[in-house]
Structure 1
């Protein structure tokens, strides 16, 4: 019997890695070897991360990417990486650098070269970007901010429950790095979109996402069209930014598994 293929799940800004637990169970049941390490400074639990939020202050995109490269070196084979939001940006960087066999980027943070900046995206980022000092701090969302940026397609009851269960303070620096990417020569948000040697990539967009709107994901997909490597796009109607950990997560996970099978992965 062939060894199980490792799958590394990468969470996004403001979300704890435990949010991937249902995905890990599903992927294990489908013959994969899943893991979901947190970002540098994250603790094992939501409560502990909240209590020690200073540990994530000042962490940037390169720091996060390096930590996942270190984790990948401990695995028995090159993994599939699946990332959400800023985790989707990290997944693309790991694929580009040859550390992953394939990647799925779900509502991914925008890579350098993506130009659309919808108003809803600006509003979602304001809790961090409105204060320049936040670049060196850990920043937490309020329930109201989470409901707009993540839970806008959910009932307020479900949104508030998710807020209590999976949210953590996040490093403001990654958002400053992401939003300034097109004005920074050596931006950590840069990916070689012309790389012909990388593995397959699936980009997933939710039509009702406020934080990473569909137009942003489509723009990223367009940038990759100069590469001969597989780059697919899936658009999921009615999905907001919480799509990987809200009550509709299974639809997204099943779509991801189906694509992996289509790529013989």
Structure 2
């Protein structure tokens, strides 16, 4: 049996968007799977048809959901998360539930201060209505292009939108926004854990939703831990880097890093 790998999606992308990664990692000898968040349906279409099931799930709900999945695995997994999935992966790694984690364009954790204007614009569809804290919110193709796919063609952006996007719960964004004012914030990560497995942070130079400055500020949060914490930047990529036509380059970088960690 290969090492288990759990892929954790973020807001607005369905778990099936990881399918090409799952195939690549299986071919590389791992035992990968990409389970959805609580409330997600099995397909993009079904998830779009039932947004009420998706709404009002917060960060702690999602962490507990994946922790339950991990408990049923034969051994501790490697976690690979994108966006809010990257935050979830970091929380679970800090709880010693994983061998290692890779956080790709991860949502900002508690302690990260810079909130660039582009990130505010990218999340405005949620924050413009306080009631969205308890709802699932969908993006328009134009909003998706700004938040995710600004580094690819408009045609590819529209194709990605149609293929992978689903409504997303607003609650995690409200929780992350208030993290630095809440001593018990669910966005808090055990960044000072000395015995956790290795962590790779991946940043995108053209990401509007999680700009590179946020990922570099996240790296600084780990300065009190001697556990391995690395960073790789893809200068010409945006938030869609896990699903757009350049996904394989990112996935291969993850495989290379895992090999370097003897994983």
Q: For 1:213-243, what per-residue CA distance to the aligned partner results, in whole angstroms no more than 9, with x for missing partners? A: 0000000001101101000010111010000
SS of the residue 1:65 aligns to: helix
Partner of 1:38: 36
Q: For 1:48-90, what per-residue CA distance to the aligned partner results, in whole angstroms no more than 9, with x for missing partners? A: 0000110011100000010001111111110000000000000
Q: Choose the corresponding residue for 2:149, options 148, 151, 163.
A: 151
Q: Choose the corresponding residue for 1:50, options 48, 51, 67.
A: 48
Map 1:55-94 → 2, pairs under 5 A: 55-94=53-92
Partner of 2:192: 194
Task: For 1:11 and 1:202, locate their aligned partners in 2 and report how far apart those are by CA, in whole Å.
Answer: 16
Map 1:101-140 → 2, pairs under 5 A: 101-140=99-138
Shift of 1:132: 0.4
Task: For 2:232 and 2:128, locate their aligned partners in 1 and report how far apart those are by CA, in whole Å.
Answer: 32
**TM-score normalized with structure 1 length:** 0.99
Partner of 2:98: 100
Q: For 1:161-218, what per-residue CA distance to the aligned partner results, in whole angstroms no more than 9, with x for missing partners? A: 1000000001000110111111111000001111101100000000000000000000
Shift of 1:103: 0.1
Shift of 1:154: 0.8
Shift of 1:112: 0.2
Task: For 1:44 and 1:71, locate their aligned partners in 2 and report how far apart those are by CA, in whole Å.
Answer: 16
Task: For 1:32 and 1:248, locate their aligned partners in 2 and report how far apart those are by CA, in whole Å.
Answer: 22
How many residues are matched?
263
Q: For 1:16-36, what per-residue CA distance to the aligned partner results, in whole angstroms no more than 9, with x for missing partners? A: 000000000000000000010
SS of the residue 1:226 aligns to: coil
Unaligned regions of 5+ residues in structure 2, if any?
Answer: none
Q: Choose the corresponding residue for 2:237, options 239, 242, 265.
A: 239
Q: For 1:115-141, what per-residue CA distance to the aligned partner results, in whole angstroms no more than 9, with x for missing partners? A: 011010000010001110000101000
Please state if 1:256 is matched with 2:227. Answer: no
Unaligned regions of 5+ residues in structure 1, if any?
Answer: none
SS of the residue 1:257 aligns to: helix
Partner of 2:167: 169
